[in-house]
Amino acid sequence: MYSEKVMEHFANPHNMGELEDYNAVGEVGNAHCGDIMRMYLKIEDNIIKDASFKTFGCCAAIASSSVATDMIKGMTIDEALKLKNEDVVKALDGLPPVKIHCSVLAEEAIKKAIENYREGADQ
């Protein structure tokens, strides 16, 4: 059902927990399945220096959070905004069709966190 990469990221998630010095946070959820994803970013000079997450959800939600945070580290915020859920799915070697929404949550959490950062930077 799940690829080896999904199972690896689920069993040994990367970047799990709250960053101590984050300056952006985005939280999204799916009322249908109950998954909740919170993404923390440390952004300096429009570059994502660090990223972490806290996710309450299934195996696919945790794996999507883990791989997404790996993917965006070192990206500019504009590059990270271009990351699509399909990129997360590809990085995990696929997700079952009923679990694609987990990759969508990862994409949305990144966008919310960047939106949060930009709101704070404008003040």
59 catalytically annotated: no
Q: Whole-angstrom Cα distance, residue 1 to residue 114? A: 33
Out of 33, 36, 47, 81, the active site residue is 33
Which residues pair with residue 43 across a beta bridge?
48
End-to-end Cα spacing for the chain: 47
Judge whether 78 and 63 are in contact, CB under 8 Å. Answer: no
Query: Phi/psi of residue 76, each to 5°?
Result: -75, 165
Out of 37, 62, 91, 102, the active site residue is 102
33 catalytically annotated: yes
Q: Whole-angstrom Cα distance, residue 1 to residue 6? A: 10
What positions carry a catalytic annotation? Answer: 33, 102
